[in-house]
Amino acid sequence: MLQYTFRRTIAVLPTILCLIVICFFLMRLAPGGPFTSERPLPPAIMANVLERYGLDQPLYVQLFTYLKNIFFNFDFGPSFAQRDRDVNDIIAAGFPVTLTYGFWSAVFVLVLGIPLGVIAALRQNSFWDYVMTGFAIFSQIFPNFVLAPLMVLTFTLALGLLPGGGWNGGQWEYVVMPAVALGTSYLANVARITRSSLLEVLGSPYIRTARAKGLPERTIMIRHALKPTLLPVISYMSPVFVYMITGSVFIDVFFSTGGIGQSFIDAAYTRDYSVILGLAILYSVLTFVLNLAVDLAYAAIDPKVRSGLK
Amino acid sequence: MSLLSVRDLTVKFSNRGQSVTALNGISFDIARGERVGVVGESGAGKSITGFAMMNLLSRPGYIDGGQVLFEGKDVLKMSAREQRSLRGNRMAMIFQDPMVTLNPVLTIGQQMVETLRAHRKLSHEEARQIATVKLKEVYIPSPEARLDQYPHELSGGMRQRIVIAMALLLDPQLIIADEPTTALDVTIQADIMELLLEMCRSNMVGLMLITHDLGVVSQVTERTLVMYAGRIIEAGKTRSIINDPQHPYTQGLINALPQQTPPGSRLKQIPGSMPSLNAMPSGCPFHPRCPLANDLCRTTMPKVVQYADVEVACHEVQRLQSDLTSEAAQ
């Protein structure tokens, strides 16, 4: 398993390198630059500014310098748009915010979604099953950009229970709505997948065998049914985790959390090359780490996968 | 007293308020150490009989009446706890496909140990030891190592041996084997059947063998029940049923065996197919396919009569029998 983790980690380095190169050139293909504005700068000043940020160099030299700084100094360069801040600062300020509500959102999804699905499956076609199905449909027609304003209307404006935005150092009142708004549609999907997966597992021959062996129902559920039931849930959660922890641009903007989603949008508008590139690298590293984590979780549950890893 | 008596067992399936009868009041007995074969086409109700005996039918199937007496006590009237202490312990079940009947995420050892510990107060180590002994009994090489393997690491034949060892773990009085060899290679089938026979003989275990392989039935069992459309239509000593079947359906089954036909000619199959549960014909359910069917067969279900060496439910046989008795009277 350790060896597998190591191999995967080595394999990802060239991938990230390719990604940096592609992003780098794609950005430059877009018209405009960080210092173009409605009122053009005098050519002399422009030349000075470009020189200061190294933008007067040929592209391949710029790329090379950029890579060199990352690999040797872990420095992702200065922001072009925000004076006195560099990319490391921006990530250090925004990422903990996104990570916090993303994490709670994932907890919310799993801790509620799996039991909901289990209950719906065990009480198939009962009141709770219909409640769950109704909830799943509800969350599909209310994606987060509809749900978030509705939540603010209800909990902030009407009831005055929760703040409508801001972060305040991650106090819980400020985390609740971003986490719930981000997670609800995934929660419904997780519940739905758990339900159908459990129903399938319960109808499987090995559960019949367990019953015929005279095992207590609780043992059958926990020992025999739970693990196989979770496999499809884990598959589904793999990309969702990444999405949640990297946060949603919409949630960041709507709740003014100050997360990196907001920085991404700002950077795209101002052609802040180094910030865009830095965030893209962050996203890809996170994607890799979380995918690996999910694959390892899969291996921990399914012995077939585990023997495939060797 | 027989080990097991099934009396008027009726099983229905409900579907949107409507129910269809899958098992139509069947009765039979299995004596201690007796090996009974249950044969018939797919859909005749063989497997359902097996499940109903363990009270393990899952929705939408349900038992609509009758008794399953195990050592004189009605299984269907026992508490859930009592039923559980019977399952796997006094009555064990072996299922068709060993590829899917073992839990893929638990080791062989875990699955055997949990069975033992569900029924007896044993430490983990003691249970493992018993499991090792049982695996050795079914000729599994290096049983210790097998305990820590997962089902997918073993071959089909090996897995079915393990399933048999698992069924024998607690020395049950009765094993219900539901087509234990159909999913296996032909070469392994014979091995497994022989093993099952040997285990039942040496441990005095009763066996109910559900199969559609008449060859296997004649090798392994002492008595045979022939099922058709949720009824037992013929029952008796296996030898009598194979050599001198009375019911036209059983005759058809035996004639359809490839050995009964010279090589190169067409197999003698029974025309038509088993009626579906929601379109059961009136009278004898076999009459649409029966070469001897008459008007009586189309309207009334025949009663079970003793004829030659077997019990059989057929109007034609009944007629022959009454002819004989009237001849005898003259």
* Per-residue pLDDT at A294: 85
Domain that holds residue A277: 87-309
Nearest CB to B84 within list A203, A216, A227: A216
Q: What percent of chain B has pLDDT over 90?
A: 42
Task: Indicate yes or no: CB of B84 within 8 angstroms of CB of A215.
Answer: yes
Kindly list the residues from chain B whose CB atom is less than 8 angstroms away from the CB atom of residue A228: 103-105
- Say if strands B310-313 and B35-39 run parallel, antiparallel, or are unpaired: unpaired
For residue A63, what are its two tokens?
A: 């790329």
- A222 inside 8 A of chain B by CB: no
Distance from CA of A294 to the nearest CA of B (A): 17
Q: How many structural domains are present in chain A?
A: 1
- A192 inside 8 A of chain B by CB: no
Kindly list the residues from chain B whose CB atom is less than 8 angstroms away from the CB atom of residue A205: 95-97, 100-101
State the pLDDT confidence band at B225, using cuts at 50, 70 and 90.
very high
**Cα nearest neighbour of A201 on chain B:** B103
A144 pLDDT more than 90: no
State the pLDDT confidence band at A129, using cuts at 50, 70 and 90.
confident
ipTM of the complex: 0.85
Exposure of A123 in the CB half-sphere (CA atoms within 13 A): 13
* Per-residue pLDDT at B38: 94
pLDDT, tens digit, 9 for 90 and up, residues A178-231: 999 998 889 989 999 999 999 999 989 899 999 999 999 899 999 999 989 999
pLDDT, tens digit, 9 for 90 and up, residues A292-309: 888 888 888 888 888 776
A245 pLDDT more than 70: yes
Mean predicted confidence (pLDDT) in A173-180: 89
Number of Cβ within a 10 Å radius of residue B90: 18
Q: Say if residues A266 and A238 touch (Cβ distance below 8 Å).
A: no
Nearest CB to A209 within list B58, B101, B153: B101
B314 pLDDT more than 80: yes
Does any domain span residue A65? no
For residue B227, what are its two tokens?
A: 């099922």
Kindly list the residues from chain B whose CB atom is less than 8 angstroms away from the CB atom of residue A216: 84, 118
pLDDT, averaged across chain A: 86
pLDDT, tens digit, 9 for 90 and up, residues B65-124: 899 999 989 999 999 899 999 998 999 999 888 888 999 999 999 999 999 999 999 999
Mean predicted confidence (pLDDT) in B266-287: 85
A243 pLDDT more than 90: no
* Per-residue pLDDT at A23: 87
* Per-residue pLDDT at A302: 86
pLDDT, averaged across chain B: 89
* Per-residue pLDDT at B4: 92
Where do the H-state alpha helices sit in B209-277?
214-220, 238-243, 248-255
Distance from CA of B276 to the nearest CA of A (A): 23
Does any domain span residue A15? no
For residue A169, what are its two tokens?
A: 């150092």
Does the domain at B4-243 match CATH 3.20.190.10? Answer given as: no
Residues 6 or more apart whose Cβ sits within 8 Å of residue B303? B313, B318
- A309 inside 8 A of chain B by CB: no
Does any domain span residue A205? yes
B278 pLDDT more than 70: yes
Extents of the domains making up chain B:
4-243, 282-330
pLDDT, tens digit, 9 for 90 and up, residues B232-263: 999 999 999 999 888 989 998 888 888 888 88
Kindly list the residues from chain A whose CB atom is less than 8 angstroms away from the CB atom of residue B105: 227-228, 301-303
Q: What percent of chain B has pLDDT over 70?
A: 99
Classified as helix, coil or strand, B314 is: coil
* Per-residue pLDDT at B103: 93
Which residue, B66, B75, B83, B77, is CA-closest to B28?
B66
Distance from CA of A6 to the nearest CA of B (A): 25
State the pLDDT confidence band at B42, using cuts at 50, 70 and 90.
confident
Nearest CB to B102 within list A209, A212, A301: A209
pLDDT, tens digit, 9 for 90 and up, residues B10-24: 999 987 778 888 898
Distance from CA of B175 to the nearest CA of A (A): 11
**Of A101-105, B202-206, B274-278, B298-302, which gets the smallest average pLDDT?**
B274-278
* Per-residue pLDDT at B1: 67
SS (H, E, C) chain A: CHHHHHHHHHHHHHHHHHHHHHHHHHHHHCCCCCCCCCCCCCHHHHHHHHHHCCCCCCHHHHHHHHHHHHHHHCCCCECCCCCCCEHHHHHHHHHHHHHHHHHHHHHHHHHHHHHHHHHHHHCCCCHHHHHHHHHHHHHHHCCHHHHHHHHHHHHHHHCCCCCCCCCHHHCHHHHHHHHHHHHHHHHHHHHHHHHHHHHHHHCCHHHHHHHHCCCCHHHHHHHHHHHHHHHHHHHHHHHHHHHHHCCCHHHHHHCCCCCHHHHHHHHHHCCCHHHHHHHHHHHHHHHHHHHHHHHHHHHHHCHHHHHHHC
**Cα nearest neighbour of B163 on chain A:** A209
Mean predicted confidence (pLDDT) in B32-58: 89
How many A×B Cβ pairs under 8 Å? 79
Alpha carbon distance B140, B129 (integer Å): 14
Which residue, A281, A280, A266, A260, is CA-closest to A80?
A266
* Per-residue pLDDT at B296: 87
User: Using CB atoms within 10 A of its CB, is residue A157 exposed (0-12), middle (13-18) or buried (19+)?
Assistant: exposed
With a CB-CB cutoff of 8 Å, which residues 272-301 of chain A face chain B?
301
Task: Indicate yes or no: CB of A205 within 8 angstroms of CB of B100.
Answer: yes
Kindly list the residues from chain A whose CB atom is less than 8 angstroms away from the CB atom of residue B166: 213
Strands across the sheet containing B18-30? B18-30, B4-15, B61-70, B73-74
Q: What is the CATH number of the domain that holds A301?
A: 1.10.3720.10
